[in-house]
Amino acid sequence: MSKEILTLNSQTVIGMVHCLPLPTTAGFDGDYQRIIDRAVQDAVTLEKAGVDAVIVENMGDTPFSAFLNKAQIAALTAAAYAVKQAVQIPVGLDAAFNDCEADIAIAAMVGASFIRVPVFVDTVLFTDGIIQPCAKKCMEYRKMMGQENVKILADVQVKHAHMLREHITIEQSAKDAASNGADGIIVTGTQVGEETPLDLIKRVKNVVNLPVFAGSGVNAENIHDQLQTADGAIIGSSLKEGGILTNPISYELVKKVLDGLK
141-153, pLDDT tens digit by residue?
999 999 999 999 9
Task: Please state the separation of Cα 56 from the chain's center in Å.
Answer: 8
Closest by CA to 230, choosing from 262, 261, 255, is: 261
**What is the Cα gyration radius of the chain?**
17
| pLDDT for residue 13 is more than 80 | yes
**Rounded CA gap, 28 and 173, in Å?**
35
Phi, psi of 53 (to 5 degrees): -165, 170
Question: Hey, which bits of 157-244 come out as E strands?
Answer: 162-163, 184-187, 212-214, 232-235
Average pLDDT, the chain: 95
pTM greater than 0.85: yes
pLDDT higher than 80, residue 262: no
Cα distances from 215 to residues 1, 39, 207, 219, 237, in angstroms, run: 28, 20, 18, 11, 11
Q: Is the peptide bond before 90 cis (omega within 30 degrees of 0)?
A: no
Where does residue 237 rank: exposed (0-12), middle (13-18), buried (19+ CB within 10 A)? buried
Q: Which domains does the chain have, with CATH numbers?
A: 12-259 (3.20.20.70)
Q: How many C-beta atoms lie closer than 10 Å to residue 149's C-beta?
A: 11
pLDDT per position as a tens digit, 100-154: 999 999 999 999 999 999 999 999 999 889 999 999 999 999 999 999 999 999 9
Q: Which residues on neighbouring strands pair with residue 117, listed in sequence order?
A: 154
Instruction: Give the mean pLDDT of 202-225.
Output: 96
Q: Kindly give the pairing relationship between strand 129-131 and strand 162-163.
A: unpaired
